[in-house]
Structure 1
Amino acid sequence: MSPDFAPVPRQSVSDGVFHELRDAVLDGRFAPGESLPPERQLAESFAVNRHAVREAVKRLQEAGFVRVVHGGGTQVLDVRRTAGLDLLAHLARAGEEEPRTRLIRDGLEMRRCIGVEAARLAATRADAQARQRIVGAAAAYRGHDGTADGTDRAFWAEVVDASDNLAFRLSLNSLVHAIDANPGLMDELLADDRSDRTPHAELAEAIAAGDPDRSAEVAGRILGQAVTALERHTRRVARRRTRSA
């Protein structure tokens, strides 16, 4: 028997306040060390009740954007020093094009580093069932047309899970959120990965054979494709801007 659920609003008022304040911190309208306006003033500015503001500020605090000082207001923090990996998803949804492109570059480089080491660890730590799942996930690339159907995501989830490193898995989750925030560009950058240009079967075979060095090398080749694709994309954008100037 299904439990009874109440209807869920498309976006709560506090969500909207949170997003506005988050973006104001990320784009520098509130600099580190500054204080947010008082709760009453924010409620008036957003035309919402103070409870919505309070909930939004609580989320900002949990995400590492601000610190609530009792009797001293709400202080904006330097998110580079206080936020966690979830900041990647926030940054991907906010800000101007150039900073967002740099963030995507940083994320792809992190993806490559994690993937290489995860593949190395999977080759030494994975049990027989995990190795079999990785081989099966690689086989899904046969005849694949390169579209974003989750084939690549499923493969790397198996590799990272087989590395038995929770920090890698949580990092992968954050990277996935950032990728989902920019689907158009990421479809372009991940096209070679998704079309299996550098065969994932080769990596699966190396992990199954328990060869950590070969696994790391092949993983680097696969994951380096998106970094190279972003470099090409950045050069094309720069040329277009030059011609239109």
Structure 2
Amino acid sequence: MEALPRETIVDVLESRLREDILAGRHPAGSYLPPERQLADGYGVTRTTLKHAFGRLVQAGLLETRHGVGTKVRDYARLGGADLLPMLVRHDAKWVREIFEVRRSVGALIAERAAARATSKQHAELRRLLDAVREAVGADAVQLADVEVHRALARATGNRVYVLLTNTLFNAYLPVRAALSGPFTDPETAHRRLAPVVEAVASGDGRKAHAAADAYLRVTEKIMLEGLA
């Protein structure tokens, strides 16, 4: 068995600070108290505090100005989609909003893929679809399903769609285990997804858009029920 990673004091402090920022206890645009005061308040050393600050600066929640102090960034105005996994961990309600975007982007990707996919990409999509039916266990089925969607994005010929697809999947990664409902039966998962692949392979953009929208609505409903 693989040993579980141990949480360090920096991990704990980073988590506490992150939660305090996202919960509004340190409001956007405000400056944090002086380092010595803040370190005493959390019961840590200033060195530990600096390490935690460094991580939160990298995460886009803080900005430090020499001689001025450490400011809480307005992540809602300045942040990017890379913050989504952290926000989902803080509040699972973000998942509903992610799924709304997933639905509209996913349907558009299928439509574009129908217009642009090559015969080689059609064959890849069918092979990956078969892998959904052959996977063992809900986790493996879910991951196989993800690969079909990545391939659909690649088939559009637009790399931004690929990155958007990766971003949306990464966004709900922190709660993925609770979203396995649509993937518990490989045959059913395959049957739900097959119309999307076949519509894309037929080259009918309107049909592909409708099939993807239907698939994403059904799986979203099941996943949100599991999350609740």
Which TM-score band (shorter chain)?
A: 0.7 to 0.9
| CA offsets 1:152-198 (integer angstroms, 9 cap, x no match) | 1111111122223333333333332333311343123x448963276
Q: Distance in 2 between matches of 1:137 and 1:29?
A: 46
- 1:61 CA displacement: 2.3
Which of 133, 136, 139 is the matching residue for 2:130? Answer: 139
2:126 corresponds to 1:126? no
Using a 3 Å threshold, how does the CA distance of structure 1 residues 49 and 199 change in structure 2: closer, same or farther?
Answer: same
For the structure 1 residues 130 and 44, does the alpha-carbon distance in structure 2 shift closer, same or farther, using more than 3 Å as the test?
Answer: farther
1:4-47, CA deviations, whole angstroms, 9 ceiling, x for partnerless residues? Answer: xxxxx744544333222111111111111221222333334444
Unmatched tracts of structure 2, length 5 or more:
none
Q: Structure 2: how far apart are the matches of 1:73 and 1:193?
A: 54
1:64 deviation in Å? 2.2
Stretches of structure 1 that go unaligned for 5 or more consecutive residues are 1-8, 238-245
Q: Which moved more, 1:214-223 or 1:123-132?
A: 123-132
Moved more, 139-148 or 175-184: 139-148
Contact between 1:17 and 1:53, CA under 8 Å: does it hold in 2? yes
Cα offset for 1:105? Answer: 0.6
**Higher fraction of helix:** 2
The verdict on how the C-alpha distance between 1:107 and 1:25 changes in structure 2, with shifts beyond 3 A counting, is same
Task: Indicate yes or no: 2:160 matched with 1:160.
Answer: no
Quote the residue 2:178 is aligned against: 185
* 1:76 aligned to which of 53, 72, 79: 72
CA distance in 2, matches of 1:130, 1:49: 55
1:67 touches 1:76 (CA, 8 Å); kept in 2? yes
1:120 CA displacement: 1.4
3-state SS of 2:125 partner: helix
Aligned identity (percent) is: 30
For residues 64 and 48 of structure 2, what CA distance do their matches in structure 1 show? 16
Output the amino acid matched with 1:153: V
Match in the other structure for 1:241:
none
Q: Deviations over 1:118-146 (max 9, x none)?
A: 11121223233222111111223446687
1:199 counterpart SS class: helix
Supply the distance in 1 between the matched residues of 2:48 and 2:87 (Cα, whole angstroms).
Answer: 23
TM-score (norm 2): 0.81
Q: What secondary structure sits across from 1:31 in the alignment?
A: coil
Asked if 1:31 is matched to 2:27, the reply is yes
Equivalent positions of 1:46-65 (< 5 A) are 46-65=42-61
Are residues 1:115 and 2:111 paired? no
- Structure 1 residues 40 and 128: CA distance shift in structure 2, 3 A: farther
* Aligned twin of 2:84: 88
Q: Amino acid of the residue matched to residue 112 of structure 1?
A: R
- 8 Å CA contact retained: 1:116, 1:219: yes
Root-mean-square deviation (Å) = 2.9
Other structure's SS at 1:75 match: strand
Specify the SS of the correspondent of 1:90.
helix
